[in-house]
Amino acid sequence: NNVVRQGIVGSDQLPNVLSDDPALPGAEDATVTPISAAALIVAELRDVLADDADGNDEATPGDTLEYVAVIRNRGNKGAQGVIYRNALPAEVLRTGTPVATTQGTVTSGNDTADRTVVVDVGAVAVDEPVEIRYRVTIDPALPPTARSITNQGVVATTSSDDVSTDDPDTPAAADPTITPIRADVVIYTTLRDYLWSDADNNRRISPGDILLYRLDLYNFGLRTADEARINMSESQRLALVSGTVQSSGGTVTVGNAAGDNHITIEFDAIAAGAHVVVTFRMEVGDVTGLQSIAMQTWTRYLAPDASVFTVFSDDPDTALIGDPTVSALFTTQPPVVSYLPLLWTERGD
């Protein structure tokens, strides 16, 4: 029903940059063009500090957040049977303020005991957005170890796959909405995979192909992460392509020398609000007997109170948080149609 395209710009000095669909709120969305009569649902979820109970201009326990979900149909046909659902994070409580929607019926969420907000939106016409608003209170009894609230809604229709909401305040697509609390450090990383070089031109991942990985690291918090380090261990099935590790910040201490098989990038500090981009390439080795290969990085840092934290990268293409990035392998004809972007450059590599 759709043609999905995304370009990439690379250099020998900087990490690769993805093209963006300017019609969407994020900064790195693929451009989707409908080629037949079909709906195309996109959704975003924004967090707003609605009531700052202690007046410190920061989200802290006891404050009230307002979530604003916007559902759009960017296809060329109306979407039917649209339902918005948001399972509320454990760190928040529903307030007595009713759920407000510009269209449809609220079927769950108006009782303070409700843990899920559900709105039966109905039909969504092309280019006629639906806005849903609801408020929550950050649990006053949160333990001191609670540092952020992660929330993501889901939009279901009768004619297409479920769509996860996107945080419009970040460049990444379909990422959860993260609210820092207690003015702390909140590190979140995503790891995406791309088929960079298809050695045998079979349009699937197989031995000899080159995968491009892109890591996006965000500090959503209001404090600096000190002595941070991004790590990637050696892989038994993937070989690091020498000289391809590029980072928009920090220093690549391991990964670009001949014979390096793992990656280490060190930072003196990662400031509040910072966004770091890292790209690297891996050559596919022997994958006999495997149906997929997984890759995951981890970031270790010091919080302001000298506590040490470790954060694992997240595959943004799944609903899970903190899961490895999995690439499907097909050594024979695939049983279903699968999409993984194939990227070309001016140099032809």
Q: Does one domain contain both 268 and 304? A: yes
Residue 335 DSSP code: S
Q: Does one domain contain both 47 and 144? A: yes
Range of the domain at 115: 37-170
Token pair listed for 78: 């109306």
Q: How many angstroms separate the Cα of 141 from the Cα of each of 54, 96, 348?
A: 15, 18, 57
Q: Does one domain contain both 290 and 218? A: yes
Q: Does one domain contain both 296 and 258? A: yes
- Give the helix/strand (H/E) hosting 192: strand 187-197
Q: How many CB atoms lie within 10 A of CB 303?
A: 17
In a domain, 12, yes or no: no
Q: Are 163 and 2 in contact (CB under 8 A)?
A: no
Token pair listed for 254: 């391991």
Domains held by the chain: number: 2
Question: Looking at 126, 144, 170, which one is the last position of a domain?
Answer: 170
Rounded CA gap, 262 and 254, in Å? 7
Rounded mean pLDDT for each run of 10 residues along the chain, 349 residues in total: 77 76 73 79 96 90 97 93 98 96 98 96 96 97 87 94 92 88 87 92 89 95 93 94 96 96 97 95 92 95 91 89 89 47 48
What was the pLDDT predicted at 338? 43
Instruction: Give me the residue label for tokens 């769950």.
Output: 108
CATH of the domain at 250: 2.60.40.1510
Rounded CA gap, 256 and 6, in Å? 27
In a domain, 147, yes or no: yes
Rounded CA gap, 201 and 288, in Å? 19
Q: Are 62 and 30 in contact (CB under 8 A)?
A: no
In a domain, 195, yes or no: yes
In a domain, 308, yes or no: yes
In a domain, 230, yes or no: yes
Q: Does one domain contain both 146 and 193? A: no
What was the pLDDT predicted at 334? 46
Q: Does one domain contain both 294 and 240? A: yes
Q: How many CB atoms lie within 10 A of CB 1?
A: 15
pTM: 0.69
In a domain, 6, yes or no: no
CATH of the domain at 70: 2.60.40.1170
Rounded CA gap, 301 and 129, in Å? 40
Q: Does one domain contain both 237 and 313? A: yes
In a domain, 76, yes or no: yes
